[in-house]
Amino acid sequence: MRFALDDGQTAFGRSLDGMFAAADTPSAVRAWARGEHGPGRALWRRAADAGVFTLAAPGGLGGVGPLPVEVGVAFVEFGRHCVPGPLVETVAVMALLSRLAEAGEAAPAKEWVPKVCAGRARVTLAAPARAEHGPRAGRAAAPAGGPYAPAADAVDAVFVATAGAEDAEPGRGPVLRSIGPARPYALDADAADAVFVVTSSDGEAADGDAADGLWLAPGHGPVLPSVDPARRLAVPAAGGERLAAGPAVREAAAHARLWAAYATAAQALGVGHALLDRTVAHARRRVQFGTVIGSFQAVKHRLADALIGLEFARPLLYGAAVALAAGSPGARAEVAAAKAAACDAAYAAARTALQVHGAIGYTSAYELSLWLGKARALRQAWGSPEDCRRDALELPH
Amino acid sequence: MDLDLTPEETAFRAEARAWLAEHVPATPLAPPETARGFAEHRAWERTLYEGRWSAVSWPCAYGGRGASPVESLVFEEEYHAAGAPVRISQNGIALLAPTLLAHGTEEQRARILPPMARGETVWAQAWSEPEAGSDLAALRSVAVRADGGWLLSGNKTWSSRAVFADRAFGLFRSHPGADRPHRGLTYALFPLDAPGVTVRPVGRLDGKPVFAEIFLDEVFVPDEDVVGEPGQGWRVAMSTAGSERGTALRAPGRFTAAAGRLVELWRSAADPGDTALRDRVADAVIRARAYRLYAYGQVSRPGPPPEAEASLTKVFWSELDLALHETALDLLGADGELVDADWAQGWLFALAGPVYAGTNEIQRDVIAERLLGLPKGRRG
């Protein structure tokens, strides 16, 4: 047993940390939020040059992976430095297309994966939550939300995986469906070269659009701002080119969701550490009552709790990586546990960060805001806390 | 990165599992808070010893097995999964023994450890005092120099299992003129039946005498029963405290087994539509898994983990234990208040977790100061 990063993995994380620290990611996020994708694309290019995207793709398609541990290491740094763009969705698209290729549908993978690995194409993905996790599975009153394709306006392709006629036509579904959008959002579709959409046949009716299918969306609706300024949501346009159909899409989409949830967990862990580090630094220099506030027990204890949450989420993340690497059937539960714990820990760190910073932390001008909103958005992305807990019940014990 | 056991470790797990399946008593022993129950548990310690399972992590020379850190975690997983009895020897085996291995003399190890492994000498911890709880360094019990040893006097309290135990390890002020409260302390071992010792049982919330007050009136302790240098007891004691807060005393296997039983209870007793309870069960499962993987991570690194990490684990497992048992009691509904039921007894035990071994408030101070680098401040 060696349940620790090796020297190469540690060095890889450090090099990404150093690279992004020197790259003024906060300015890139602010530009991204205005729809100016130049600085964000430059970061994207650097990540691609560092080989990050090749880690998620298999060798035959221009990648060196899939290497879940290394992907996790990279996404912790993406989160720590608030790197904008549909990074999680990119990994998910590669998981989806690679799995489809294994099932004999190789054309989409051959077209897109090498380009994405090389940083020459930016893609995003919209896919519905797993059917049994939809509102009809008993999650009363939970607004479905999404799936949005994050950053659909910034990518080259939005892949859409849809689920069921009800997702496509909210008027026919239960009333609760009207809380969420009719179709999954795509993240950063306005920055993408391709917006991939997955549809599924879980609904009662099965018109062409609702059957299991992978689509290349012909465009997207208006870009909607997120609580995280680095996330821009848009509903992919219906129709477009159908790249694949049938049960293989469903299976590949499930695989893609697993990877998306895993990468989101890693990103959340990095977000939490960034929030904690900044807050500790603030507590060490902010003086009130004649002394630094970090010497007060009430402040210390909140910060200690934030660290405990993050320190015990990390092993779950890498436990999930080991399960993913092994292709273990238990991977779903391990990923779910990691996502629940990492997102809880990141959000707890965000609340502590805001409280310890006081009013300055509540301002958009202060950099902390870039991480605060992300901690909230990631909780719901690619598996809600409730969905994750349900899946985690299958953990070994 | 992997979680694979070596063939040797897999064989170790199989051997432990098979032995436990054969030897764990089919009917539960009497509660260890009774004389009969304590005797039964002492006999179980002897059985464990005869199988060489009573102190797996110790060197073979003292009755252990020389098990690796991974094997030690594996043994605890198997032990708790098998539903084996509570270890009345745990404070000796998991707290005093590592202290002796680090700070004791060879003579002390050879004299003290084998009877501990056989369950012949059961040890209690004598640290807290009426006026020295979280502020342990404020302790007032004294060790006064005598010919060939020390005379111990004072009042210790909250000493688990001291009602029936044989000996105790404690901290005493030996050099009253020292410049700081935590200097001038001596770590000494004493018999609980020595002349001058009075043990008065203290009832836990449910009245069971799980701990005791200890009064000492000029109790003689020979020099060979001082651990480390006289006056250096604080440093020795902090090594014990690290064991108490970390994975050795409250191994992950204890919580993964409890989480497994909680899931079984939930599946058999819960309304599947009650997602609030389901989420709490899931949280217990997730946190037990996190602790287990955290421990695997610790043993994968070379050398012992930094002392302050034990404060992270202590807060984590104590809060997990409490939440897990609270969830079980809620699942049991009206039966949850029956105090002698296993889950209620476990809850009572868990209630003490955030208090003993250094309160969780003290642990959070340690985390903030040593791991986050925040400045020391006055407590409170």
Q: Which of A216, A247, A278 is the last residue in one of the domains?
A: A247
pTM of the model: 0.93
A57 in any annotated domain: no
A193 shares its domain with A278? no
pLDDT for the residue A50 = 95
Q: Is the minimum CB–CB distance between A251 and chain B shorter than 8 Å?
A: no
Write the CATH number for A370: 1.20.140.10
Size of interface A-B (CB pairs under 8 A): 158
Of B291, B297, B377, the CB nearest to A3: B297
The interface predicted TM-score of the complex, written ipTM, equals 0.95
A374 shares its domain with A290? yes
- Taking domain B123-232, whether its CATH number is 2.40.110.10 is answered by yes
A357 shares its domain with A325? yes
Q: Is the minimum CB–CB distance between A322 and chain B shorter than 8 Å?
A: yes
A353 shares its domain with A301? yes
Q: In chain A, what residues touch B288 (CB-CB under 8 Å)?
A: 397
- For B286-343, the pLDDT digits (tens) are 999 999 999 999 999 888 788 889 999 999 999 999 999 999 999 999 999 999 999 9
Instruction: List the domain boundaries for chain B.
Output: 7-88, 123-232, 246-371
Of A1, A311, A390, the CB nearest to B5: A1
pLDDT for the residue A132 = 52
Q: In chain B, what residues touch A305 (CB-CB under 8 Å)?
A: 315, 364
- For B104-121, the pLDDT digits (tens) are 999 999 999 999 999 999
Of A3, A291, A305, the CB nearest to B3: A3
A206 in any annotated domain: yes
CA-based nearest distance A88→chain B, Å: 22
- For B334-370, the pLDDT digits (tens) are 999 999 999 999 999 999 999 999 999 999 999 999 9
A287 shares its domain with A386? yes
Cβ–Cβ under 8 Å, residues A57 and A252: no
- For A152-170, the pLDDT digits (tens) are 777 777 777 644 333 334 3
Query: Domain range holding A144?
Result: 121-247
Catalytic annotation, pick one of B244, B309, B337, B361: B244
> For residue B49, what are the contacts with CB-CB under 8 A and spacing of at least 6?
B55, B63, B117, B118, B119
Cβ–Cβ under 8 Å, residues A315 and B73: no
pLDDT bin (cut points 50, 70, 90) of residue A181 is: low
Q: Is the minimum CB–CB distance between A313 and chain B shorter than 8 Å?
A: yes
pLDDT bin (cut points 50, 70, 90) of residue A147 is: low
Asked if the Cβ–Cβ distance from B377 to A297 is below 8 Å, we say: yes
Cβ–Cβ under 8 Å, residues A61 and A17: no
Out of 1.20.140.10, 3.40.50.1100, 1.10.150.120, 3.20.20.210, select the CATH number for domain B246-371: 1.20.140.10
Asked if the Cβ–Cβ distance from A301 to B373 is below 8 Å, we say: no
pLDDT for the residue A173 = 33
Q: Taking all residues of chain A, what is their mean pLDDT, rounded to a whole number?
A: 88
A54 in any annotated domain: no
* Count: domains in chain A: 2
A45 in any annotated domain: no
A267 shares its domain with A307? yes
Residue type, A231: R
Burial (CB count <10 Å: 0-12, 13-18, 19+), residue B264: exposed
Alpha carbon of residue B212 to chain centroid: 16
A334 in any annotated domain: yes
Query: Is there a catalytic annotation at residue B244?
Result: yes
A74 in any annotated domain: no
Q: Token match 């999680």: residue?
A: A88
A323 shares its domain with A344? yes
A347 in any annotated domain: yes
Q: Which of A247, A263, A293 is the last residue in one of the domains?
A: A247
Asked if the Cβ–Cβ distance from A297 to B380 is below 8 Å, we say: yes
A231 shares its domain with A206? yes
Query: In the predicted model, is pLDDT for residue A325 greater than 80?
Result: yes
Q: What's the rounded Cα separation, in Å, for the pair B199 and B166?
A: 11
Instruction: Return the closest-CA partner of residue A352 out of A265, A273, A291, A266.
Output: A273
Of A308, A340, A397, the CB nearest to B259: A397
Asked if the Cβ–Cβ distance from B286 to A6 is below 8 Å, we say: no
A140 shares its domain with A185? yes
Asked if the Cβ–Cβ distance from B3 to A301 is below 8 Å, we say: no
A149 shares its domain with A231? yes
Q: What percent of chain B has pLDDT over 90?
A: 90
A168 shares its domain with A270? no
A259 shares its domain with A380? yes
**Distances in whole angstroms, Cα of residue A252 to Cα of each of A52, A104, A341, B153, B268:** 21, 12, 25, 72, 34
What is the maximal distance between C-alpha atoms in chain A? 69
Beta carbons within 10 angstroms of residue B141's beta carbon? 22
- For A98-139, the pLDDT digits (tens) are 999 999 999 999 999 999 999 999 999 999 876 554 444 433
- For B68-111, the pLDDT digits (tens) are 999 999 999 999 999 999 999 999 999 999 999 999 999 999 99
